[in-house]
Amino acid sequence: MSSCSRKILALRIHALAKTFNRCYHRATALHCPSGPPKLSPYDVNCILRTNEHTQEFFGGSVKSYDSNQLASNSPIEDSRSEASCVHTSGLLLGIFDGHGGPACSQVISKRLMRYIAASLVPPDDLRQHVLNGAQSFSFLSCHNDKLEFVSEIKELYEKSFHQFANELTNTTLAGFQMHQTLENAFIRLDQDLSREAIEMPSLRTMSVAMSGAVALVAHIDGPHLHVASVGDCSAVLGTVTDTGQWMAKKLTNEHNSDNVGEVRRLLSEHPATERDTVIRGERLLGQLAPLRAMGDFRYKWSREQLEQLVVPQFGEQVIAPYYLTPPYLSACPEITHHILTPRDKFLIIASDGLWDTMSAMQTVHLVGEHMYGKAFLQPLTLPKQDITLGEISQMLTTRKAGLQKKPLDRNAATHLIRNALGGTEYGVEHSKLSHMLSLPQDIVRLFRDDITITVVYFDSEYLRNCPT
């Protein structure tokens, strides 16, 4: 190498080193808050409370629920849905965490609940509703629903729903199994998403088909709690022990490469020659983190279908390396049934944006403390019967002690998000919380994911007296 070439190379290396140092120090400065907080406490509260919702119920095993979500992606890829079944008893609550765009999570957050609600109606009753021209939305009474399908796609979805409903009318009530009903609804909707994109390819149907979502749906009817999960959202039950201690009971398993049983299931479905390629770098085909999901047909369709339908629009890169024996991805949910008791106080369902920051036990402790402290947000009321000054003094002493634990937020989901982003071993630190909420859009995803949470409170008195 000539002397001139060596000088040019040295200059290039020096320039690259300076660029790296600038990027490194910029990222470090962004990650480590310094100076005064960028957001005031008022600003923080406004951001955290923008999407919160509380719904109360009268009668039944569910007293109320708190829900909230905070975006990291723009637009947010998480969706949520809560609805009461119209033609049967029971409450449906869902968390949907999208990837590759929000299209799939938004669509299944509405359609999956309708498929499940229709599946729960006795066949003879369902037949009558269909004959009377019932639309899919009429099977649910939705709470906090802010999304509506455009007319073009709505007609297609209604056609698919009515085909499914007509098939359900040919089943028998005697063979009803809740596990099978939930599983069928998940799988059938996924099949419909696929068929719609193949038979009527358009920008809308293909955007749903090429994006994907993990999904968790809880159905609560009296003391019966069923949780159906595909992917890595989680459900945790908050229970009080005989000694008054909080206990966290996980009702779901994450379907990812950390789940040994899930990895074995996936490997068993493909030839031994693919053992080293099905999961690479802890991801499906080296690309997708969840090992079960809805949508994501680039991991389900045959190579011929991808080459015909997808490659002309999205290019050859849409086909994953070592794509030899599809399908590689399943939409079959794992289902848990739990019979609620008076010791079960609440259920937390959330996307992995929450579980990335805290454990199941931490969330249960936070909601438990919030549930106790929230009582002190209400004005003090004296009982109607006669009461002594000494008893009033004791009530005031108890309230004074309780006020120290009074939460900043009435909504438990907001309380969890606040602690997830700003929590330290000494409590919530405003500067940390302000920093996490001030990150620029181009880097925020490096530090936090979309977070969506629903906390469901149970009526202990109802559960104490209702038959199982």
- The pLDDT tens digits for 134-172 are 999 999 999 999 888 988 899 999 999 999 999 999 987
Kindly list the domain boundaries of the chain, sorted by start residue.
41-465
Residue-wise pLDDT for 359-378, tens only, equals 999 999 999 999 987 655 55
**How far, in Å, are 231, 389, 414 from residue 399 at the CA level?**
43, 15, 24
Q: What's the pLDDT score for residue 466? A: 87
Secondary structure element (H or E) that encloses residue 365, with its range:
helix 360-374
Flag whether pLDDT at 40 surpasses 60.
Answer: yes
Most confident of 27-36, 167-176, 324-333: 324-333
| Cα 60 from Cα 66, distance rounded (Å) | 17
Flag whether pLDDT at 399 surpasses 80.
Answer: no
Strands (E), 51-201: 53-56, 62-70, 78-85, 91-99, 140-143
Residue-wise pLDDT for 72-126, tens only, equals 999 999 999 999 999 999 999 999 999 999 999 999 999 999 999 999 999 999 9
Q: Are 90 and 466 in contact, with CB atoms under 8 Å apart?
A: no
Query: For 307, which DSSP code?
Result: I
Of all residues in the chain, the percent with pLDDT exceeding 70 is: 87
Of 6-15, 154-163, 199-208, 272-281, minimum mean pLDDT range: 6-15
Q: What's the pLDDT score for residue 36? A: 57
Residue from 142, 98, 66, 96 nearest 417 by CA: 66
Contacts (Cβ under 8 Å, ≥6 apart) of 375:
402
Flag whether pLDDT at 390 surpasses 90.
Answer: no
- 95-111 b/e (C-beta count within 10 Å ≥ 16 → b): bbbbbbbbbbbbbbbbb
Flag whether pLDDT at 222 surpasses 50.
Answer: yes
Q: Are 131 and 156 in contact, with CB atoms under 8 Å apart?
A: no
Comparing 33 with 167, the larger pLDDT belongs to 167
Q: What's the pLDDT score for residue 34? A: 53
Top CATH class of 41-465 equals alpha beta
Residue range 369-389: mean pLDDT, rounded: 71
Amino acid identity, position 88 = T
Structure tokens at 457: 């409170």
Mean residue pLDDT across the chain:
89
